[in-house]
Amino acid sequence: MWSKERYARYVGVKIGKESNIQDVNFGSEPYLIEIGNHVQITNGTKFFTHGAAWVLREKYPDIDFFGKIKIGNNVYIGNNSLILSGVSVGSNVIIAAGSVVTKSIKDGRIVGGNPAVIIGRVDDFDTKVIGFNVNSKGFSYRKKKKFLLSLDDDRFIKK
């Protein structure tokens, strides 16, 4: 069985190095999508390289229009996000889960919502969360569970 990344490459998605592609729908023109290095695209994300031509087909029976999608380097795309045609996502970007990205995003931004809007900057996020780092990356499930349950509440992010 192929990995999600291998399949995406097979259907034409251009993907850089060290990316993590989960259960993602690249639509009917995956060859119009380019993904940079160190990008994580999480479950349920969908890419749309076209849309809405149907409404004009009675008037223009052969109409079709498309937009390429480009994702920069070091990007995180949260679960169930929708990336629409013609969108470019800069580098060092976080897209919150469930976002509908209708416009291009500049480097270093955090976006979320429907439609997605800027909700912060990655530099500020870095400063905010570094104090909550518990250095558990790479722990087994059991070890992480035991460790996290042993921590005081002030070690966890609160919103």
Domain-embedded: residue 68: yes
Length of the chain as a residue count = 159
**Residues 111-128: pLDDT tens digits?**
999 999 999 999 999 999
Asked if residue 64 has pLDDT above 90, the reply is yes
Domain-embedded: residue 83: yes
38 as an active site residue: the answer is: no
Specify whether the CB–CB gap between 40 and 76 falls below 8 A: yes
Q: What percent of the chain is modeled with pLDDT above 70?
A: 100
Domain-embedded: residue 8: yes
Q: What is the CATH number of the domain that holds 97?
A: 2.160.10.10
Q: Which residues of 48-84 are buried (b: 16+ CB within 10 A; e: fewer)?
A: bbbeeeeeeeeeeeeeeeeeebbbbbbbbbbeebbbb
**Domain range for residue 93?**
4-133
Domain-embedded: residue 15: yes
Among 4, 14, 46, 50, the active-site one is 50
Specify whether the CB–CB gap between 126 and 106 falls below 8 A: no
Q: How many CA atoms lie within 13 A of 133 on its CB side?
A: 8
What domain count does the chain have? 1
Asked if residue 1 has pLDDT above 90, the reply is no
Provide the mean pLDDT of the chain.
96
Domain-embedded: residue 50: yes
Give dist(CA 47, CA 25) in Å, integer: 6
Domain-embedded: residue 155: no
pTM here is 0.92
Domain-embedded: residue 139: no
Give dist(CA 101, CA 85) in Å, integer: 9
Q: Report how many helices (DSSP H) and strands (DSSP E) the chain contains, helices first.
A: 3, 13
Domain-embedded: residue 67: yes
